[in-house]
Chain A
Amino acid sequence: DTEVTQTPKHLVMGMTNKKSLKCEQHMGHRAMYWYKQKAKKPPELMFVYSYEKLSINESVPSRFSPECPNSSLLNLHLHALQPEDSALYLCASSQDGQTSVKETQYFGPGTRLLVL
């Protein structure tokens, strides 16, 4: 099974709402990632978790709060977002990032977020 699942598929929220995006993988991967993709642009890295610890934060505003409760789950908590945060949010996972062998990142289908 090489599947990364993301829920919900679509989300509409107001600027005062609090919502969460969820990502799950059962490949035994120990590295997980959040990317943001604006329309007609390439994905941009937001966060990297390695062995359930946050290892990279690409200067993401604090209204985005990641959480990795266990090795299979990755959440992205959203609070007080702005309309310009509307985008496709992609989750990915990879084996562990610690080895020098081939390491593929597997992506989920994304959550399409609209902030009104």
Chain B
Amino acid sequence: DAKTTQPPSMDCAEGRAANLPCNHSTISGNEYVYWYRQIHSQGPQYIIHGLKNNETNEMASLIITEDRKSSTLILPHATLRDTAVYYCIVRVRSGGGADGLTFGKGTHLIIQP
């Protein structure tokens, strides 16, 4: 799976949009971009994933650049409960069997009141 690079930490004011970047310059054509987050003392939680089109769900939006070498996770109206470590993971979606997630160091997002 391709390696990802994320800033170690970010701050965002409550109520504002939080934009979390991720670089994945070695991504290949069959690799998806996944985002998970881990709130303190909890298990990781799936947020969103995409291949090349922008995606939106009830939690967040995912913007993937046209060359697919980077992406941005957007939390449109951040709340204090969004304070967590956010992991960007690139992985192949194949039918070859179950495989685990390879977590990088992630971005510690701190929402300020």
Contact = CB atoms under 8 A, between A and B. Distances in A.
A42 B87 contact: yes
A11 B87 CA distance: 27
Q: Which among B41, B93, B97, B104 has the highest number of chain A CB atoms within 10 Å? A: B97
A99 B100 contact: no
Interface string B84-108: 0101000001110111111111100
Given A104-B46, A107-B43, A109-B42, A94 B98 contact: yes
Interface residues of A, number: 31
A96 B106 contact: no
A42 B104 contact: yes
B21 interface: no
Nearest to A91: B43
A92 B99 contact: no
Interface of A: 4, 31, 33, 35, 42-45, 48-50, 55-56, 58, 90, 92, 94, 96-100, 102-110
30 contacts: A33-B100, A42-B103, A42-B106, A43-B44, A48-B98, A50-B97, A50-B98, A55-B97, A56-B98, A56-B99, A90-B43, A90-B44, A92-B44, A94-B98, A96-B98, A97-B98, A98-B98, A100-B93, A100-B94, A102-B49, A103-B93, A104-B46, A105-B44, A105-B46, A107-B45, A108-B43, A109-B41, A109-B42, A110-B42, A110-B43
